[in-house]
């Protein structure tokens, strides 16, 4: 069963706190993604990972960093969260290129107070 999981599903943090969002996939996909979705803006790419320790900035990387130490796990880290990072965060994975189907996780709702 092809699956992308995200933990936690819901998170409330105070401004300045650190945030760790975790993503896992069981399909041995090479490529993984972190997006955020905000009303009227669709899905915006934060970071893309082509494989272990092979990460590239997406369109809105500022304020975020990522870690991929195992092919099946991809973490998104917010050092000192800001209120404008309140959003829904989606992780996705694909076999390799952008012409392969992206499978999305269920999303994490982050509220930064």
Partner 1 sequence: GQQVKQSSPSLTVQEGGISILNCDYENDMFDYFAWYKKYPDNSPTLLISVRSNVDKREDGRLTVFLNKSGKHFSLHITASQPEDTAVYLCAAGGNQGGSAKLIFGEGTKLTVSS
Give all strands of the β-sheet with 73-78 in edge-to-edge order. 4-7, 19-25, 73-78, 65-70
Spatial CB neighbours of 31, under 8 Å, sequence gap ≥ 6: 48, 49, 50, 51, 93, 94, 95, 96, 97, 100
- Separation of CA 93 from chain center: 10
Stretch that binds partner 1, among 11-19, 33-41, 62-70, 73-81 (CB under 8 A): 33-41
Query: Between residues 17 and 51, which has the closer beta carbon with respect to partner 1?
Result: 51
Q: Which of residues 51-90 bind partner 1 (CB under 8 A)?
A: 58, 90
- Please select the residue that binds partner 1; options are 12, 80, 96, 113, rule is CB under 8 A: 96
Q: Does 28 bind partner 1 (CB under 8 A)?
A: no
Measured from the CB atom, is 17 or 59 closer to partner 1?
A: 59
Q: How far is the CB of 67 from partner 1 (least distance, A)?
A: 18
Characterize the bridge pairing of strands 42-51 and 108-112.
unpaired
Which of helix, strand or coil describes residue 113?
coil
**Residues forming the site for partner 1 (CB under 8 A):** 4, 31, 33, 35, 40-45, 48, 50, 58, 90, 94, 96-99, 101-102, 104-107
């Amino acid at each position: 069963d092809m699956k992308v999981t995200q933990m936690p599903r819901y998170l409330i943090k105070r401004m300045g706190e650190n945030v760790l969002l975790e993503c896992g996939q069981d399909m041995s996909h090479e490529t993984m993604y972190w997006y955020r979705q905000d009303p009227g803006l669709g899905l915006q790419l934060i970071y893309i990972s082509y494989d272990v320790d092979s990460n590239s900035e997406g369109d809105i990387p500022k304020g975020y960093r990522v870690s991929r130490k195992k092919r099946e796990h991809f973490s998104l880290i917010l050092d000192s969260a800001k209120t404008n990072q309140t959003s829904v965060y989606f992780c996705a994975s694909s076999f390799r290129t952008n012409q392969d189907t992206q499978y999305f996780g269920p999303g994490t709702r982050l509220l930064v107070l």
